[in-house]
């Protein structure tokens, strides 16, 4: 069993920034990523990264969010800039150990995820 631990959530004003971290001590993986649950919406993928650093983003995240991973620290990050009130919610990190297709896009489908973190709360309000 792999335990994923998120941190870095908090409360910011619109236009502000946050960096989320996910301690993900996995020896190997196919891809990992961030999901979010915002009020009134279903759980949705935000961004994903594979074991060689390729990345992919949901449309709403492009240009504002950056996913990265520090392999030496076994930690994944999500840098979020220009945050909007609609970005508020619970953010989860997720890991797919064995992927089947699509590179990082495999991690945009929750059915492929093997492990989930417990989530970290992000609030964006004036």
Residue 80 C-alpha from the chain's centroid: 10
Q: What is the pLDDT of residues 38-96, one digit of tens each?
A: 999 999 999 999 999 999 999 999 999 999 999 899 999 999 999 999 999 999 999 99
Q: What pLDDT score does 93 carry? A: 98
Is the CB of residue 89 less than 8 Å from the CB of residue 122?
yes
| Predicted confidence (pLDDT) at residue 101 exceeds the cutoff of 90 | no
Is the per-residue pLDDT at 5 higher than 90? yes
């Amino acid at each position: 069993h792999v335990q994923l631990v998120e941190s870095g959530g908090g409360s910011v004003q619109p236009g502000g920034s946050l960096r989320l971290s996910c301690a993900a001590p996995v020896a190997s993986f196919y891809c990992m990523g961030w999901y979010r649950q915002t009020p009134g919406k279903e759980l949705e993928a935000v961004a994903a990264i594979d074991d060689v650093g390729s990345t992919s983003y949901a449309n709403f995240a492009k240009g504002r969010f950056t996913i990265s991973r520090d392999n030496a620290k076994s930690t994944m990050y999500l840098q979020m800039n220009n945050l909007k009130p609609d970005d508020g919610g619970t953010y989860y990190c997720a890991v797919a150990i064995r992927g089947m297709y699509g590179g990082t896009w495999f991690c945009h489908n929750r059915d492929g995820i093997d492990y989930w973190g417990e989530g970290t709360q992000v609030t964006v309000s004036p």
